[in-house]
Every structure is written in C-alpha cells, then in structure tokens.
Amino acid sequence: MKFGGRRRVPALPYCSRLNRLQNQHRFFFASSVRRLQAKFPPRAFTSNGGNTDSQGNPFLVPGATVATILMLGALHARRMYNDKKIEEARERGIELEFQPDAKAAFLRLLPLRSISRLWGTLTSVELPVWLRPHVYKGWARAFHANLEESALPLEQYASLQEFFVRTLKEGSRPIDPDPQCLVSPVDGTILRFGELKGVRPMIDQVKGFSYSVSSLLGASSFLPLIAEGNVHEESSEEEKATTEKSKKTWWRISLASPKVQDPVSVSPMKGLFYCVIYLRPGDYHRVHSPVDWNVLIRRHFSGHLFPLNERATRTIRNLYVENERVVLQGRWQGGFMAIALIGATNVGSIKLLIEPELRTNLPIRKLMHSEQPEERVYEPEGIGMMLKKGNEVAAFNMGSTVVLVFQAPVPKSPNENPSSPEFSFCVKTGDRIHVGEALGRWHEL
C-alpha cells in the first residue's frame, strides 16, 4: 500500500480559468475607464498653459478629488523613501546595479495603460476655483515644484492636467545664445551621456544592462552608421554627395536608398553622442528644441507604460525600449538629430505641440495590428518642420524621460587640421539642468 500519494489535478483547466478571470478583470477595468472618460471628457490645454474658461465648474466630484489626494500622498511617500535609499547609497559611493526582482514581474500583470488613462481622466476633472490653489500648493510641496515661475495665477488652471503642463513666466528659462552650443530640451536630472562607439552601439540603462540605439529609434532609423569594410561603393559615393547637396537630397538617400550592410558589423560614424535626462513629477513638463534643426519624421511606438523612476531602471529590462514613446528624427548643422520622448505610468499621454492631432495610449484593441511604429513624414519632404533653439515641441503630464541621440563635430583623424572643432559635454551624471542651459559645446582646438 502506498502512503502520501497525491491526486494529480490537470493544470490546463486551472490555467484557462485563471486567464479568463484576468481577462474579465482587465475588461471590467478598461470599460470603467471608458465610462469615466465619456462622463468627464478631458480638457485640451493651450500653448499658454491655461484654459479658455477661467470661471470653471462650481461643482466638485468628491470621488475624483479624494482619489487625486490619495494618489498625491502615495506618490509623495514613495518618492521620499526612494530618495532616502538613493542618497544613502551615493554617500557610501555605491553605484546601484541592474537586478530584476518580483515587483518588476508583477508590474507586467497590471493594466498600466488603463490605469494611466484613468489617472488622465481624474486629473482632467475641473476643480472649484477656491480649491485650486490648495491642491496645487500641496503638489508643489510634495514634489518641490517652483510655483513662482508659473505664467498664470493658480486659480486659472482649471484642472491638475492644465497645472502639470503649465507654461512659465517670460524669461524663466533663458536660452544659451552661443551658436556652438547644444542646450537641454527639458528640466531634469542627467542620468547617462557619452559617445556611441563599437559594433551595434548601446546606451547604458544602468550599470550592468544596456539597450541598442536602433531598438530605441527603430530598425529602419536613418542613424549615421557605417559597416566595417562592408559598405557598398555606391553608398559611400552617396555619402560624399550629401555634403554638397540639399537637405532634401540627403533625406531621399537616407530613406529611399539605405545602405546594404551586415547588421553584425555595423558601427556608428564618429561623432555620434547620446544623453538621457529624467524629469521628476515636480519638474517643468514641456519639451523644447535643443538646437536649430529640421524635424523630418515622427514615429510613434505603442508599448507598455512602466514607471521610469530609479527603481524601475534597475529592475526592468529594456525599459525605454518597451515603453510607449514618440521619436522625432531630423537633421541639424552637425548632422543627425533625434529626440525620444518616453511615456511612463500616468504619463501615457504625450502631447506633441507641433502635431496636436497625435493620440497616444490608445486602448489595446486599437493597437493589436500595429506592431510597426506609426510614422508621419513632415512636409515638405526633405525639409520638414523647421524648429529654432528653444521652441516648444511637446509636453508630458507628469515626470518622464527624454533621450537625445545626435551627431556633433569631432576631429575625424589625427592628420586632420588641428583647428577642427570638437564637441564635449559640460555636465556630469546626476546634475540638475534646466531648459536652455548648455549640455555641450564644440570649440576650435
């Protein structure tokens, strides 16, 4: 006689019931968000950060207000705890390394896109005029926002969403006038920067893990890459011609006639740099142009909406590649230029001020067949949309991350003229920076 035997239970029926239960929960949550969005349609913000009707609705939605206050309290408590841990590690000289944990796996099970849409609905609810200063001052105290820079009185921001994307007073962010200077497009913290080198160039997400530039910008991106010994002669002739032809010709060569290369042996051309800047919830949330340049194409990648805080960068693989993002690519006097706007939890809505009709964080059912990024080529082809240094480009609803990838002048060889310009960064990792301040400069040697 056998003792301790267990009755085997088929795993398949249980898994199928679990999947059905998860799908029911997701459907219920998504349908609830849609009902709230229908009842309280989001308010559009204007270029001056305020609303067109400053009187507002005198009635308050108690549930939305309570939920907003609880969310602010939870975010503040989490920020204080994380800041304390990071500060303690820095004092000990410890650089935190990549280390996946159970929380990162759990985040993949949550309907973060629907949660972000719900948060957007709550923050777009119009607040009573008398309550607005109290809510906004509480937010500023929790996340160290400077209310003295706001362009409008607090009473004129009808909702938290309008307050998040507020403009600043004239002169609050002076733009460095040096023509040989690339400025910061956002207020934020410098996470990583450097020059892209080697085969299949990578950007460090955190110590111990990196992601490829082509996966961030897209496989068909017109990054200035060269193949080590495998570039066709025809393509090299085209590259020489681009220095003498118009931007339109350069655009047609880059996209219509891409180089045929072995993907394993592709390396970046000399002088290709990157910079990663993190925006905290209390930072100014608008994105500006870092240089005078022509935006030729916009790409929208649908994806997850994981948080982008310090813990997430240490625990979630390919965080910036997996999250929803909008990438602008074009050309400036130094060559290639790209800005990647990374969405995050509660920041699924990325507003392009140069393309107001763009919609992000759409319901999953509308994205099932869009594995490739949705693209738009700005007209006129080859010239695109011209932006001046300091022009407004986009806005986030809360904290997020911006990644710059760009070419800049460097000496091409030791035998080159010693007076050739050379680009160098003028920031350090961990520095706080504001819109218009210099990220790097190039100067005569």
Token pair 């009473």 is found at 155
The three-state secondary structure class of 8 is: coil
Round to the nearest angstrom and report the end-to-end CA distance of the chain: 89
Q: What are phi and psi of 436, to 5 degrees?
A: 95, -15
The closest of 439, 423, 440 to 189, measured between CA atoms, is 439
Strands, E assignment, 196-283: 202-206, 209-212, 225-227, 266-268, 272-279
C-alpha–C-alpha distance, residues 81 and 84, integer Å: 5
**Phi and psi dihedrals of 104, rounded to 5?**
-65, -40
Q: For residue 404, which amino acid is it?
A: L
Q: Which of 288, 289, 300, 304 is catalytic?
A: 288
Q: Tokens for 404?
A: 């710059």
Q: Catalytic pick from 114, 116, 124, 187?
A: 187
Q: Give whole-number Cα distances, 356 to 56, 204, 360, 365, 412, in Å.
A: 24, 32, 11, 23, 41
Helices 112-123, 11-39: axis angle to 10 degrees equals 20
Q: How many CB atoms are closer than 10 A to CB 315?
A: 20
Those residues with Cβ within 8 angstroms of residue 44's Cβ, 6 or more apart along the chain or in another chain: none
Q: Which residues of 112-121 are buried (b: 16+ CB within 10 A; e: fewer)?
A: bbbbbbbbbb
Long-range pairs, 65-68, Cβ under 8 A, ≥24: 65/125, 65/127, 65/131, 67/122, 68/122, 68/123, 68/125, 68/135, 68/160
* Cβ-based neighbour number of residue 80 at 10 Å: 11
Residue among 159, 184, 214, 400 flagged as catalytic:
400
Residue 288 designated active-site: yes
Q: Active-site residue numbers?
A: 187, 288, 400
